Amino acid sequence: MMGKVMADEVLEAELVFAQAIDDAKKEVIKENNSAEKNQLNYAMGATVAVVIVALLLSHIITTPLENEINENNSDGYPPIWERYLADFTTDDSHSFVLQNGTLTGPDGVSLWSGTHNFVEFELPIEEGGAAPNGKVSLAVWIPNVPNGTQVPVIAEFGPYFDEASVDTPGIEEPGTWLGQMIIEQIVPHGFAFAQVSVMGTGRSNHCMDLMGNAEQLGVDAAVSWLGTQEWSNGNVGMIGKSYDGSTPWQAAMFGNEHLATIVPISGLIGVMELMWRNGSSEARAPIMHNGVYGSYGIDGDEEDVQNMCPDYIIGPGTGVAAYMWGGEAAGTYWAERYFLDRVLDNYNGSVYLIQGMHDWNVDPHMAVPTINLLYDQGIEAKGLFGQWDHDYPDRPDIMFDRSGVGRGVEAYPEMVRMDWMQDLLEWFNYYLRNEGDKPWLGVEIQSNQGSWRLEDRYPMSNTTELIWELGSSELPSSGGSNTILPNANSGPVYETPPLENDLYFGGLPRLHVNVNTVTVGGQIYALLEDCDGSTCIHIGHAIMDLRYHKGGTDNQIWAAPTQEITALMEFFPMDVEVQAGHTIRLSLVSTGEDYLPSSASTIVTVNDAGSTLQLDIFDPETRQYYPVPECTHPVCLENQ
């Protein structure tokens, strides 16, 4: 595949709810009419046409990035681009560290039950529920160490422990999706581990207020407790995926002196950002609160009355209001649940940010351009962005099952990072124990065709903006009407002539489209595809409710229908290689993916003149590509 360097040349399962969300989203797509399925390339027939792209690079391209990485690791660990030469375990269902640690649990066991504790803290009385008596439930795993030895703590905070409704283990039992791996592989190198139930879940009291203030305060209290125990060296690191990848952002808001590093994996920088994009609403958004997580705190005991706190009661209404009006209708419900600005203001630790570029559950705009905002704020950060779905970076069977044509399968099995646990060990050694060499602080990004390379930031530096006007010779109209009808699979289609050269672009492509509307409202869904004859695969997409045509969360009003407005659309993050001879197709319709029609639907007319598609392109000869350890799991070998 294009841009790859071939190796011969140079959670056992998804959390039940996360899987249920993805299944529900896919059911929404299944209900679309067949024409829309064809338009969006979701239907897979008995025969799937896969684009086979020729290998372009036969050597590693080196750039000054290599000079920024210290190759003389004091532990003898190889640098990123030489890991493929190391003796990793590559045939299992997840990754492993290169060298086993020596510490064990009681009686020399490598896996054991944790010790349960409650952390008490004061809840503001206005939080209702259990206030002022907050109580967080957690369990800790401390290896056998000499008396007086202090170790740092790695912790996972989330709502799933002790929750019978989603069939997850008790909090003292290591989580099969991540906890077992950390206890067996990282803890023996000199760490403790903790699992923590957020407020209103498991044995923690109060109500499940979906990442609100009470939950945030509970997270901060637990971090302080973990950092001040006699066996703790004072440094706490947080890791987790999905909801458990959102709690690290919550903790980082407080500037807690004990929080030294966070590893958010497909986590949220804000709750509204999960389900709304430029005023457009996902199908799950209006019922997300009580319809999903609200039931976690209800288990039939006398503490159920604590769920009647203010945010629990207003939660469903805020979801419906946001769909109707696209933003914060009243109060500060969503502002309270936006984390990133307070992280940038207060956090003093490091961030290892991990994101799937094809994640449907938590879209990649949570990580891009977040990583650059961290850099610009002076926060030490690394990114690992691969072409997987809502996954950990090292699960070969799950990754393949959740990838489809144009949805990551072209990057399989190179997407499987069998060096990930080693990466975590080196990260935690440095930022929690002050040992080893400083990790390289940049972005490891994988293209949609599978090649891995190093970037100093993402979206990238040193790119050239390529601008195509809609309807021009570079991007001529290829069918469809310039009128986008509400709730219909109709609208203009544009397609380039066959490309004369391979095209490399990524980051956040933009579509600035001039439109008129019949009334104030309307919505545009933009689909970008790589086409080879009649076969097209998904490259990326964008969505916008035109009441938010300037982007962001601020509603704009205009004098419809005479006033032309410009929709400043930004695609979800992508990293793309398109082969010479292929074409790029842009289709505009009223809705797509799993998004709802606009609550203010109307007819939209697209004006080609002055409307542009903008891509940030780069020359691969200026980048450093590298191979990753070859996955030899049976699923990888069967699907090379």
Identify which has the larger pLDDT, 306 or 618: 618
Co-location of 370 and 427 in the same domain: yes
Does the residue 262 lie in any domain? yes
Q: How crowded is residue 74: how many other Cβ atoms within 10 Å of its Cβ?
A: 10
Co-location of 469 and 564 in the same domain: yes
Does the residue 72 lie in any domain? yes
Mean pLDDT of 9-31: 39
- For residue 14, pLDDT over 50 is answered with no
- For residue 639, pLDDT over 70 is answered with yes
120: CB partners within 8 A, 6+ apart: 133, 134, 135, 136
Report which secondary-structure segment, H or E, holds 550.
none
Last residue of a domain, one of 408, 430, 455: 455
Q: Which domain holds residue 498?
A: 464-617
- CA distances to 42, 164, 197, 226, 404 from 118, rounded to whole Å, are 47, 20, 10, 11, 44
Tens of pLDDT, residues 325-336 = 766 666 788 999
Co-location of 125 and 274 in the same domain: yes
Report which secondary-structure segment, H or E, holds 495.
strand 493-495
- For residue 238, pLDDT over 80 is answered with yes
The 3-state secondary structure of 425-440 reads HHHHHHHHHCCCCCCC
Co-location of 450 and 539 in the same domain: no
Greatest Cα-to-Cα distance within the chain, rounded to the nearest angstrom: 78
What is the rounded distance in angstroms from the CA atom of residue 87 to the CA atom of residue 349? 32
Nearest to 268 by CA among 287, 238, 242: 242
Co-location of 451 and 468 in the same domain: no
Last residue of a domain, one of 455, 472, 487: 455
Identify which has the larger pLDDT, 36 or 572: 572
Which residue is associated with the tokens 């007086």? Answer: 148
| Alpha helices for 523-589 (secondary structure H) | none
Nearest to 237 by CA among 261, 216, 220: 261
Co-location of 345 and 227 in the same domain: yes
| Alpha helices for 195-339 (secondary structure H) | 213-227, 247-252, 271-275, 288-292, 310-325, 333-336
Mean pLDDT of 423-433: 98
Co-location of 234 and 349 in the same domain: yes
Confidence of residue 590 (pLDDT cuts 50, 70, 90): very high
Q: What is the mean pLDDT of the chain?
A: 87
Does the residue 20 lie in any domain? no
Co-location of 206 and 141 in the same domain: yes
- For residue 4, pLDDT over 70 is answered with no
- CA distances to 185, 375, 542, 569, 608 from 613, rounded to whole Å, are 47, 28, 12, 10, 11
Co-location of 451 and 490 in the same domain: no
Tens of pLDDT, residues 452-491 = 999 999 999 999 999 999 999 999 999 899 999 998 889 9
Mean pLDDT of 402-419: 97
Does the residue 290 lie in any domain? yes
Given a contact cutoff of 8 angstroms between Cβ atoms, the answer to whether 423 and 637 are in contact is no
Q: What is the pLDDT of residue 52?
A: 26
Query: What is the count of structural domains for the chain?
Result: 2
Q: How crowded is residue 120: how many other Cβ atoms within 10 Å of its Cβ?
A: 11
Q: How crowded is residue 369: how many other Cβ atoms within 10 Å of its Cβ?
A: 17
Report which secondary-structure segment, H or E, holds 245.
none
Question: The CATH number of the domain where 243 resides is what?
Answer: 3.40.50.1820
The DSSP secondary-structure symbol of 509 reads -
- For residue 509, pLDDT over 50 is answered with yes
Co-location of 242 and 286 in the same domain: yes
What is the rounded distance in angstroms from the CA atom of residue 298 to the CA atom of residue 296? 6
* Share of residues in the chain with pLDDT > 90 (%): 74
Tens of pLDDT, residues 174-214 = 999 999 999 999 999 999 999 999 999 999 999 888 899 99
Confidence of residue 289 (pLDDT cuts 50, 70, 90): low
Q: What is the pLDDT of residue 26?
A: 42
- For residue 38, pLDDT over 70 is answered with no
Q: What is the pLDDT of residue 287?
A: 75
- CA distances to 248, 476, 485, 497 from 471, rounded to whole Å, are 46, 4, 20, 12
What is the rounded distance in angstroms from the CA atom of residue 530 to the CA atom of residue 528? 7
What is the rounded distance in angstroms from the CA atom of residue 432 to the CA atom of residue 416? 26
Q: What is the pLDDT of residue 299?
A: 60
What is the rounded distance in angstroms from the CA atom of residue 605 to the CA atom of residue 276? 24
Does the residue 384 lie in any domain? yes
Identify which has the larger pLDDT, 423 or 38: 423
- CA distances to 9, 86, 626 from 57, rounded to whole Å, are 10, 22, 11
Co-location of 248 and 313 in the same domain: yes
Mean pLDDT of 46-53: 30
Burial class (CB in 10 A: 0-12, 13-18, 19+), 292: middle
- For residue 64, pLDDT over 50 is answered with no
What is the rounded distance in angstroms from the CA atom of residue 173 to the CA atom of residue 211? 24
- For residue 7, pLDDT over 60 is answered with no
Tens of pLDDT, residues 241-281 = 999 999 999 999 999 999 999 999 999 999 999 988 998 99
Mean pLDDT of 14-36: 40
Q: Which amino acid does the sequence have at 283?
A: A
Q: How crowded is residue 177: how many other Cβ atoms within 10 Å of its Cβ?
A: 23
Does the residue 32 lie in any domain? no
Given a contact cutoff of 8 angstroms between Cβ atoms, the answer to whether 637 and 418 are in contact is no
Last residue of a domain, one of 427, 455, 483: 455
Co-location of 495 and 441 in the same domain: no
Does the residue 123 lie in any domain? yes
Q: What is the pLDDT of residue 556?
A: 86
3-state DSSP percent of the chain in helix, strand and coil, to 5 = 25, 25, 50
Q: What is the pLDDT of residue 181?
A: 98
- For residue 22, pLDDT over 50 is answered with no
Q: What is the pLDDT of residue 541?
A: 97
pTM of the model: 0.88
> Could you tell me the two tokens for 394?
């090292």
Question: The CATH number of the domain where 536 resides is what?
Answer: 2.60.120.260
Does the residue 548 lie in any domain? yes
194: CB partners within 8 A, 6+ apart: 114, 138, 139, 140, 141, 153, 154, 155, 156, 222, 226
Confidence of residue 320 (pLDDT cuts 50, 70, 90): confident
- For residue 81, pLDDT over 50 is answered with yes
Residue 187: strand, helix, or coil: helix
